[in-house]
Each structure stands twice: as structure tokens, then as C-alpha cells.
Amino acid sequence: MPVRENMVADSAIDLALEHLENMTDQELNNLFERMSSQQPHVMGFVVGLGEGLEDEEAAEDLFYLTTILWHSVELSKNDTLNTVSETQLTALDNRMTNLFEEIVSFSDDNDDEDMENIIAASSQPAIVNYLADEFFSEQYFRLSEEKIAKMFACMAVVGEALGEA
């Protein structure tokens, strides 16, 4: 696979996870505040998604996952991450809807292959692969498939938007 410009590598995601796991509560809070001030539209988007889930734990996970994605991109770009505009997120709404519809239409026989195709087609395959591993794990089986697909589609779009910023 050719290397794409602005592509986040698995190693950046791993490093972001390591950073977050080793941070104190105050350091996590500071990082979250920095991300919130730099990416207010992304945070508004995630807040809106979380409110529709009717699952407090899943909504909190979205904020943590957003922090992982943002920090991964930030590490990849050496702190030169631009703010994602509201217009950019709105423009991605179509992509999110199409991705959601594609996921809910997976057949049980080919769902692994279908997900591999989604990952390969993404502008941020490492991010989308990480999200697939997270959302389609036992941790989220308590949620309906439709909610999981929506969370995945929305967060994949957020990851792609941050990667392009």
C-alpha cells in the first residue's frame, strides 16, 4: 500500500495510547482541555453523538477515543495540527451516512472482508482499523448493532477529518 500524505501510522496510535495510560488525572485533564480548545467543532460533534446513545459509558468512551485519535494525529504531525472547521465536519456528513449504511448492510458471511475494504479505502487506515477493533469488540456488545455502526462511522469520519487537518 502506498504511503499517503498526512497518514497516521499504527505506531502513533500506540504511542498516544502509551502516553494516555501513563498520564496522571491532571495531565489527562490538561490534554483534554488543550484538545477541546483546539478542536471545538470536533468536540461538539462528539458531544452530539454521545447524547444520542443513551449509554453514559459509551458516551465517555467517545471522548477518550477522540482524545486518542487527536493525540495520534498530533504526534504524527509534530504538533502542527490545524483546527477542523464546522464546515469541514458538515461536509463529511455524507461520508458518515454512506459509511454507516455500508456497515449495517454487511452480510454475516463477508463482514471481515467488508471491514477490510472500508479500512483500505480510508484516508486514515490505521485509525479506522483501530476503531474497528474497539467498536466491534465484546466491550460494545451491550449496544445495538445500529448504535455501534453509528459510533464507528462517526468516529472514523472524525479520525479522517483530524488526519486531514
CB 118 within 8 A of CB 99: yes
User: Where along the chain do its domains lie?
Assistant: 10-164
The span from the CA of 36 to the CA of 114, in Å, is 33
Q: What is the pLDDT of residues 47-76, one digit of tens each?
A: 888 877 778 888 888 888 999 999 999 888
**Contact partners, residue 134, CB within 8 Å, separation at least 6:** 65, 140
Q: What's 140's DSSP letter?
A: G
With cut-offs at 50, 70 and 90, classify the pLDDT of residue 107.
Answer: low
Mean pLDDT within 144-149 = 87
What is the pLDDT averaged over residues 144-152? 88
Rg (CA), the chain: 15
Run of H or E including 91: helix 86-91
Position of cell 463477508? 110
